[in-house]
Amino acid sequence: MIRLAANLSLLFTELPFMARFEAAANAGFTAVETQFPYAWPAARQAQALERLQLEQVLINLPAGNWEAGERGIACDPSRVAEFRQGVELALEYARVLNCPRLNCLAGVPPAGVSREVATATFTANLAYAAGRLAQAGRELLIEPINNHDIPGFLLTDMAQAVAIVQEVGAQNLRVQYDLYHRERMGEAISADLPRHRALIGHIQIADVPGRHEPGSGAMDWDALFALIEACGYQGWVSAEYLPAAETAAGLGWIERYGLRRAARE
């Protein structure tokens, strides 16, 4: 059975962040993820999770100045110390939120840094982060992101991601597989998802084009949801899309595709 989670950074944004936990619970979700929870006290978020019986399933490592357009610092050789400080901050949030997995965004190589140097920096940072997370019993993820939405992003396809995971060689390093990004890159999801199932630690979904709700675009979600189940994936499938209108009004896709929002239903 597919287990759905709600991304609180993109869903329910008509509400202040701390109100989104209750909105997700009221909509029937039992699990949430957050891209960057660091602007709000971890203890306050943990209280909301406990009160509403929600599970925090994912957060991202700090990724630089997101508002200024930065999309990760893990590939920047001049910011290794900042990256390591971010790992420690993320681990503290993960501890308080009881969050088992953290995603690391590679970022865009800065001017003057070759992709070879950026990749080597990213790989070394992942080895460090995976070691620290392993000590805390957490899983580290990397996410290939399409280069249309983020031009110049270092990690764009599954072949790269698989090669990096194999080079780092950490047992707790896996791939965050976002069907939206894979479709935007023209990759064969029907072949890649089963082939790399053992390396996939988390799945996210949105439709193409527009990055809106499943069913709003051209992707065959009946087939995709069936594929996720058929390949034996047991993890969370997170709704990480941009609602076309008010979030709750657009959740009908869940029942339309024969899914359940939560175990409490």
Q: pLDDT of 95-111, one tens digit each? A: 999 999 999 999 999 99
Quick one: pLDDT band at residue 68, thresholds 50, 70, 90?
very high
> pLDDT per residue over 238-262, tens digit each?
999 999 999 999 999 999 999 987 6
Q: Report whether pLDDT(264) > 80.
A: no
| CA dihedral sign, ordered 100, 105, 106, 111 | negative
pLDDT (mean) for 206-226: 98
Helix (H, G, I), strand (E, B) or coil at 193: helix
pLDDT at 77: 98
Q: Give Cα separations from 222 to 193, 219, 228 (angstroms).
A: 15, 9, 10
Percent of the chain surpassing pLDDT 70: 98
Average pLDDT, the chain: 96
Residue extents of the structural domains in the chain: 3-246
Q: Report whether pLDDT(265) > 50.
A: no
3-state helix, strand, coil in the chain (%, to 5): 40, 15, 45
Written as one letter, the residue type at 98 is N
pLDDT (mean) for 29-56: 98
Query: Which residues, 6+ apart, have CB-to-CB distance to 81 below 8 Å?
Result: none
Rounded to whole angstroms, the Cα distance separating 244 from 132 reads 39
CB 90 within 8 A of CB 61: yes
pLDDT at 260: 81
> pLDDT per residue over 148-187, tens digit each?
999 999 999 999 999 999 999 999 999 999 999 999 999 9
pLDDT (mean) for 205-215: 98
Helix (H, G, I), strand (E, B) or coil at 55: strand
pLDDT at 217: 98
Q: Report whether pLDDT(263) > 70.
A: no
Quick one: pLDDT band at residue 81, thresholds 50, 70, 90?
very high
Q: State the CB neighbour count (10 A cutoff) for residue 207.
A: 22
Upstream peptide bond of 77 is cis (omega within 30 degrees of 0): no
pLDDT at 262: 60
Query: Which residues, 6+ apart, have CB-to-CB distance to 21 below 8 Å?
Result: 8, 32, 45, 48, 49, 52, 54
Question: Is 14 annotated in the active site?
Answer: no
Percent of the chain surpassing pLDDT 90: 97
Q: Which of 143, 183, 187, 213 does the annotation list as catalytic?
A: 143
Question: Is 240 annotated in the active site?
Answer: yes
Q: Report whether pLDDT(215) > 60.
A: yes
CATH class for the region spanning 3-246: alpha beta
> pLDDT per residue over 123-150, tens digit each?
999 999 999 999 999 999 999 999 999 9
Nearest to 44 by CA among 61, 10, 71, 20: 20
